[in-house]
Amino acid sequence: MALRLGDIAPDFEQDSSEGRIRFHEWLGDSWGVLFSHPADFTPVCTTELGLTAKLKDEFAKRGVKAIALSVDPVESHKEWIKDINETQNATVNFPILADGDRKVSQLYDMIHPNANETLTVRSLFVIDPKKKVRLIITYPASTGRNFNEILRVIDSLQLTDNHSVATPGNWQQGDDVVIVPSLKDEEVIKQKFPKGYKAVRPYLRMTPQPDK
């Protein structure tokens, strides 16, 4: 059965380019981004892993660990990492799972037979510190992911968890946010949002981003 938002991310133990990984233990209290690739030594994946490596500081300041996956073996991953580092002017600084037995791919429904019977699709999962799945995005193999969007969603999720707000369409850091409809007590609202808010409609209340 496919994973849904709010499900507990399945735990697993699998080999990787950085040794054996027990997933929940490896995550600890961090957020996680688990993302799959159709295969090693493929062009789009090479650019994505280089970009992820360059974003290490951005992930770190959000308390996020990145981990990649493909169905190729560890030895192949290690050779591919050399190519990634050289061609992308980067240093891969996160593990790549070697899912040769498709164990993780099956747990996370990463193999879509109508797309390809053996290779994983370009899936991505954001997992919170409680091990809940908070975002699922699946791209076609030909389309590289927008990691700025992944960071934007993580920022939005963390704002929601910490400040009882949601983010409007095309929201970026520093833009106004929406007070969640479930928050109705005016005294609580005044305490949580001392900068005030504008009620465009009773259900649409805009307020400056609380942590800025």
Check if the beta carbon of residue 166 is closer than 8 Å to that of residue 160: yes
Alpha carbons 38 and 72: distance in angstroms, whole number: 9
- pLDDT the model gives residue 112: 57
Task: Report the percentage of the chain scoring pLDDT > 90.
Answer: 80
**φ and ψ of 70, to 5 deg:** -145, 170
Per-residue pLDDT tens digits for 108-149: 988 755 545 445 568 999 999 999 999 999 888 888 999 999
Q: Which residue has the tokens 């399945």?
A: 10
> Measured between alpha carbons, how far is residue 39 from residues 1, 43, 73, 77 in Å?
24, 10, 10, 10
Alpha carbons 4 and 25: distance in angstroms, whole number: 22
Residue ranges for the chain with pLDDT beneath 70: 1, 112-121
Rg of the chain taking only CA atoms, in angstroms: 19
- pLDDT the model gives residue 121: 62
With a CB cutoff of 8 Å and minimum separation 6, the contacts of 68 are: 34, 35, 36, 37, 49, 52, 94, 95, 96, 97
- pLDDT the model gives residue 127: 98
Length of the chain: 212
> What is the amino acid identity at position 173?
Q
Residues involved in catalysis? 45
The model's pTM: 0.91
- pLDDT the model gives residue 134: 98
- pLDDT the model gives residue 166: 97
- pLDDT the model gives residue 1: 56
